[in-house]
Chains A and B, each alone.
Chain A
Amino acid sequence: MASTSNSTSSKIITLRSSDGEVFEVEESVALESNLIRRMMEDDCANNIIPLPNVTAPIFYLVIEHCKKHAEMKDNKEKKKELRSQGEELLKSDPHTYSNLMEAVNYLDIKSLMDLTAQWLADFLKGKSPRLIRELLKIKNDFTPEEEAEILERNRWAFD
């Protein structure tokens, strides 16, 4: 495997999203994904790699984040920028954010998984269940009795 990793910088990998769009990505970026890494090890490298669970707009987001994440390694400014972008997305479009998380999980990109999870966790801190539901547009699927019971049991957390 060492020989392939030496020649990473220029090599381009072709990937196809679930809705048929084709992406050309630098190998160094694509290899952030353990799924793609495994696929390449199974010798699919010369063909187009299909990603049946990821749509084009989401994959585009993932690549953007991966690139920025690679850049930010020693750069605090970039780190802040990436974080604020993630938080912005979470506030403005929680649906896309959750799709992004699912895609990152599917592609098995550890670094990005940790980041997106941490941002969401920070977002949740100190907010009431009602506010969380409102901001993330999550449906309250408890029956009134269930909700009353659960709120009562967890009341210590709000007071």
Chain B
Amino acid sequence: MKRSRDRDEDLTAVDNPSMMNTNTNTNTKKKRKAEEEKEEYLKKGFCDLNGDLLFEVLKYLDARSLATAACVSKQWHKAGQDERLWELLCTRHCRNIGCGNQQLRSVVVALGGFRQLHSLYLRPLLKTTSSSSLSLLIPSNNPSSSSSNPPSHWGKDEVNLSLSLLSIRYYEMMSFNNTGRVCDVCVMFLTRYQFLLLGVMYQCEIVLWDIVIWFLGVMHHFHVSCLIILWAM
């Protein structure tokens, strides 16, 4: 009924240009009505849950769904940034990572957090387990790379590798911040070298921690070095 009337109005407007003005009037009215309807609709929608409640929901999601849910609204976005969620995701697949959760947490949080760890290193790792490990060296968000089925569980090596890469990135960023020191140039060189080395070693399945600790020693940043060493023990 309503629809046919609208069509009539449109037709008269086309026939008679002087009707144009009234037509725009009805249009704004319609627009306002639509907005009111929309508000009414939203009032009946899902209310803003508090952060703890959203956490209870989001903790059941996998990484993909969590990232999607974080795009829904500001509140959901904030809830989706929660480190505890990403820690759950990062450790869900790990068995025998060789340390306690508390130790792992202190190291990862010091180096930039679990979300960072997941997005930069664990995700590419999951994607490229079947292809060459050298692709790990580029922590890109390029989604076009072929995704294979993720392994059900990660071993110690996968976790160690991703942690090593994370720690290296941390130092790399730190040296970007303090430019102008000769030492930093060496660090930049070392970190790049380290990336390559790690890739090769990962393929050979050699434990990486000696090198990382040596590397941190070079850096003289003892607070994190100590944490890493603690964790490694």
Contact = CB atoms under 8 A, between A and B. Distances in A.
Contacts of B68: 124, 127-129, 132, 154, 157-158
B73 A95 contact: no
B73 A126 contact: no
Give the secondary structure class of B's interface.
helix
Interface in A102-159: 102, 105, 113-114, 117-118, 120-122, 124-129, 132-133, 136-142, 147, 150-151, 154-159
B180 interface: no
Interface string B58-86: 11111111111111111011000000000
Interface residues of A, number: 40
A101 interface: yes
Question: Which of A95, A97, A113, A157 has most chain B Cβ within 10 Å?
Answer: A157
Given A97-B46, A98-B47, A156-B141, A121 B60 contact: yes
Q: Looking at chain A's contact residues, is the secondary structure mostly helix, strand, loop, or mixed? A: helix
B19 to A, nearest CB: 34
A107 to B, nearest CB: 13
A34 interface: no
B57 interface: yes
A117 B57 contact: yes
B11 interface: no
Given A99-B47, A137-B46, A141-B74, A155 B65 contact: no
Contacts of B43: 95
A129 B71 contact: yes
B63 A157 contact: yes
A94 interface: yes
Interface string A70-112: 0000000000000000000000011101110110010000000
Interface of A: 93-95, 97-99, 101-102, 105, 113-114, 117-118, 120-122, 124-129, 132-133, 136-142, 147, 150-151, 154-159
Interface of B: 41-47, 49-50, 52-53, 56-74, 76-77, 119, 123, 141, 143-144
Task: Give 4 nearest A-B pairs by CB, closest first.
Answer: A137-B45, A121-B60, A157-B67, A129-B71
13 contacts: A94-B46, A97-B46, A105-B56, A117-B59, A121-B57, A121-B65, A125-B61, A129-B68, A129-B71, A138-B76, A140-B72, A154-B70, A154-B71
